[in-house]
Amino acid sequence: MSMNITFPDGTVKQFSEYSTGKDIAMSISEGLARNALGIFVNDIPYDLSRPISQDATIRIVTWNDDEGKQIFWHSTAHLMAEALEALYPGVKFGIGPSIEAGFYYDIDLPNGMKISVEDLPKIEQKMKELVKADSPFIRKEISWEDAMAYFTEKGDEYKLELLDGLKDSEITFYSQGGFTDLCRGTHVPSTGTLKYPKLLSVAGAYWRGDSSRNQLTRIYGIAFPKKDQLEEFIKMREEAEKRDHRKIGKELELFMISPMIGGGLPIWLPNGTVIRRTLEDFLRKEQVKRGYQEVITPHIGRLQLYKTSGHYPYYADSQFTPIAVDDEEYLLKPMNCPHHHQIYASKPRSYRDLPVRLSEFGTVYRYEQSGELNGLSRVRGFTQDDAHIYCTEDQLRHEIKQVIEITQKVFTTFGMDVSTRLSFRDDNPDKYGGELEHWERAQKEIKDVADEMQLEYFIGLGEAAFYGPKIDFIVRDAIGRKWQLGTVQVDYVMPERFQLEYTGADNSKHRPVIIHRAPFGSMERFLSILIEHYAGNFPFWISPIQISILPISDEQHGYAQELTALFESKGYRVKTDLRNEKISRKVAESEQKKIPYALVLGKREQELRQVSVREHGVGDLGAKSLEEIEALFASLMID
């Protein structure tokens, strides 16, 4: 018996029934067979050793594919678990998934044992020994009853609890060497593939994210197939540590987290507030050009508002407990959009009024576990640069194009490379609201605009919001890291939920379409990325202090104050150092504070009405006239 195998380019070839992914890869080339990590059969991930029993469309993945990396890292999580079981007999295992960059495993250590970062090299060394053993990953289908018996004998209550939710599911075990785990897969062919593992950190994590349950030990790691890839990662990680926004934020006095106020609730200090307000003003000017109207909404709302929108109970686990007020329940605002929908609905609308573009720098609140909080990047209170556009279906494509353009301008202004994901729905109807025909129209409009604008994009099935497809913008920072930031969402669901209407040219009632849009995403997370992107060396136009004026002696104080008044009158942010200190120390401190330009004033500069200019990170630029330096500063500002 033979079967037809369809390749990604549409080519169809015949293979013997029960051929494996390894067989198919080998038929193409020995190189592919050597580098293949898994195969997708009709979009279902298979191990390369698993037989294929019928006609299928296949896709072989390697390290160069995101799915290949996920398979590689998930397999390394099992490798680490095998090492842990050898080193810590009686250890119990929670879950061990791959993540965006690497993997983790949650474990429960016996007899009060603890693992710290000092123990990681020992575990890592054991992993390397297991790599050399080159044990195959073996998949085994097993009955639910046998799986329960296996983990009952091991006394692993975590796996038993997971199995309790899988009574009607296919149960599979994976084994390598002497280790067996409950797992759906997929895995690399053998441990010998996982040549260069690296364990990174240790943290605490509650079982299943529930703070009332056991706290487990979470070990994070990563792995690579080649040594130079690991070395490059370590180099980048060291660079990232130097750029850590928490460290730089403290050094430059940008923000703080106070235990008295609460974790995840950042306070913007004067320097950080300058940067944030400058970014807000930059976006406001762009929005004014495009016809947006700014609004302000409360920080709380009636619980019923979020039940109508669907945010509650869809995201109940990530929201704070409702507040009882006068026999009603209120909720700390998790989203701005329901409030904006009420503004739209506050008066009759005609097709002549559309599009209506409402914008807000609105603060919202989400519950994050304390172990997940991280500086500005994971917080409990944050401000979104939200906007909602209410338009007709005929206006939709034009408005999508406009919001893409404003989002692109934001990222290109900061020198970030941008790629695009079109986040569409998958085949699970339970995840989404609204009519399928509306989804299909919205997805078509998004794709047509992306094609028209020649965006570099890929489609992420299953990545849509529950109320509509979206465009997600993924940026690459100065050291090559990728971040998902701005988003544009097309929504046919909320107009139905909130009964939003406008009167059309036919004098009948119609539903508007809503576009949700946030170029920065959240000001907090964007600033955390921006700080690290620039390593605190901000461009002149957003720097909290742009110019330091440094007189060499008391005789230049008058000239320094004159220049301070001149530059401040032109809107620049100036710090003048009149202390009785050596000029070398003043210059060094200006450098430490990462002030873009230091103007040194001595006797000669005062006599000639000049300044001696030092650029941060560059050094001495020589003497310049006041006209020259004013022209330089003006050229560095954003219109």
- Torsions phi, psi of 95, nearest 5? -120, 155
- Torsions phi, psi of 144, nearest 5? -60, -40
Report the alpha-carbon distance of residue 477 to residue 191 in Å, rounded. Answer: 33
- Contact criterion met (CB below 8 Å) for 283 and 518: no
What are the structure tokens assigned to 3, written together?
């079967």
SS3 362: strand
- Both 54 and 100 in one domain: the answer is no
Asked whether the predicted pLDDT for residue 449 surpasses 80, the reply is yes
SS3 175: strand
Is residue 471 assigned to a domain? yes
- Contact criterion met (CB below 8 Å) for 599 and 590: no
Is residue 251 assigned to a domain? no
Asked whether the predicted pLDDT for residue 486 surpasses 90, the reply is no
Looking at the 3D structure of the chain, how many domains does it have?
Answer: 4
What are the structure tokens assigned to 11, written together?
């080519």
The CATH number of whichever domain residue 434 belongs to comes to: 3.30.930.10
SS3 582: coil
Q: Which DSSP string do the residues of 299-316 spell out, in sequence order?
A: SEEEHHHHHHHTHHHHTG
From 62, 77, 99, give the residue that closes a domain.
62
- Torsions phi, psi of 244, nearest 5? -50, 120
H-type alpha helices, 453-534: 493-497, 523-534
From 12, 37, 62, give the residue that closes a domain.
62
- Both 141 and 35 in one domain: the answer is no
| pLDDT of amino acid 501 | 96
- Both 30 and 112 in one domain: the answer is no
What are the structure tokens assigned to 494, written together?
């909320």
**Catalytic residue from among 388, 425, 511, 594:** 388
| pLDDT of amino acid 462 | 86
Per-residue confidence at 344, pLDDT binned at 50, 70, 90? very high
The percent of residues above 90 in pLDDT, for the chain, comes to: 77
| 110 alpha-carbon distance from chain centroid | 35
Asked whether the predicted pLDDT for residue 346 surpasses 80, the reply is yes
- Tens of pLDDT, residues 317-339: 788 999 999 889 999 999 999 99
Nearest to 575 by CA among 274, 297, 340: 274
Is residue 332 assigned to a domain? no
| Cα-based distances in Å from 609 to 340, 421, 424, 560, 612 | 54, 54, 62, 11, 10
Is residue 323 assigned to a domain? no
Is residue 119 assigned to a domain? yes
| pLDDT of amino acid 317 | 79
Identify whether 311 is a catalytic site residue.
no
Per-residue confidence at 475, pLDDT binned at 50, 70, 90? confident
The percent of residues above 70 in pLDDT, for the chain, comes to: 100
| pLDDT of amino acid 480 | 79
- Both 455 and 573 in one domain: the answer is no
Asked whether the predicted pLDDT for residue 639 surpasses 80, the reply is no
The CATH number of whichever domain residue 593 belongs to comes to: 3.40.50.800
Report the alpha-carbon distance of residue 376 to residue 522 in Å, rounded. Answer: 10
The CATH number of whichever domain residue 25 belongs to comes to: 3.10.20.30
Per-residue confidence at 527, pLDDT binned at 50, 70, 90? very high
- Tens of pLDDT, residues 614-630: 999 999 999 999 999 99
| pLDDT of amino acid 248 | 96
**Catalytic residue from among 70, 176, 384, 395:** 384
SS3 235: helix
Residue 503: beta bridge partners?
A: 350, 509
| Cα-based distances in Å from 249 to 371, 411, 430, 542 | 20, 21, 43, 15
- Both 468 and 446 in one domain: the answer is yes
- Both 596 and 465 in one domain: the answer is no
Identify whether 391 is a catalytic site residue.
no
- Contact criterion met (CB below 8 Å) for 258 and 250: no
Least confident of 25-29, 108-112, 518-522: 108-112
From 28, 47, 62, give the residue that closes a domain.
62
- Tens of pLDDT, residues 263-318: 999 999 999 999 999 999 999 999 999 999 999 999 999 999 999 998 887 777 78
Identify whether 337 is a catalytic site residue.
yes
Is residue 206 assigned to a domain? yes
H-type alpha helices, 335-476: 337-344, 396-413, 436-452
- Contact criterion met (CB below 8 Å) for 614 and 587: yes
**Catalytic residue from among 386, 472, 477, 491:** 386
| pLDDT of amino acid 168 | 84
Asked whether the predicted pLDDT for residue 436 surpasses 90, the reply is no
Per-residue confidence at 551, pLDDT binned at 50, 70, 90? very high
Asked whether the predicted pLDDT for residue 439 surpasses 90, the reply is no
Parallel, antiparallel or unpaired: strands 323-325 and 98-99: unpaired
Is residue 258 assigned to a domain? no
Give residues with Cβ within 8 angstroms of 313, minimum separation 6: 307
- Both 489 and 571 in one domain: the answer is no
More confident of the two residues 72 and 431: 72
SS3 359: strand
Parallel, antiparallel or unpaired: strands 293-294 and 179-182: unpaired
SS3 147: helix
Report the alpha-carbon distance of residue 469 to residue 489 in Å, rounded. Answer: 6
For residue 11, what is the enclosing H or E element? none
For residue 214, what is the enclosing H or E element? none
| pLDDT of amino acid 368 | 84
Identify whether 398 is a catalytic site residue.
no
273 burial type by CB count under 10 A (0-12 exposed, 13-18 middle, 19+ buried): middle
| 383 alpha-carbon distance from chain centroid | 16
Strongest mean pLDDT among 317-331, 338-352, 421-435? 338-352
Identify whether 339 is a catalytic site residue.
no
Q: Which DSSP string do the residues of 246-259 spell out, in sequence order?
A: HHHHHHTT-EE--T
The CATH number of whichever domain residue 117 belongs to comes to: 3.30.980.10
Residues of the chain by 3-state class (helix, strand, coil), percent to 5: 40, 30, 30
| pLDDT of amino acid 76 | 97
What is the CB-side half-sphere exposure of residue 452 using CA atoms within 13 A? Answer: 13
- Tens of pLDDT, residues 43-73: 899 999 999 989 999 999 999 999 999 999 9
Is residue 277 assigned to a domain? no
**Catalytic residue from among 159, 187, 366, 594:** 366
- Domain residue limits at 396: 282-295+351-534
Query: What average pLDDT does the chain have?
Result: 92
- Both 513 and 399 in one domain: the answer is yes
| pLDDT of amino acid 468 | 86
Residues 425-447: what's their mean pLDDT? 86
Asked whether the predicted pLDDT for residue 2 surpasses 90, the reply is no
- Both 608 and 498 in one domain: the answer is no
**Catalytic residue from among 69, 357, 516, 616:** 516
- Both 104 and 170 in one domain: the answer is yes
- Both 163 and 182 in one domain: the answer is yes
**Catalytic residue from among 92, 126, 187, 337:** 337
Per-residue confidence at 385, pLDDT binned at 50, 70, 90? very high
| pLDDT of amino acid 416 | 84
Nearest to 563 by CA among 609, 504, 494: 609
Q: Is the peptide bond before 355 cis (omega within 30 degrees of 0)?
A: yes
- Both 418 and 494 in one domain: the answer is yes
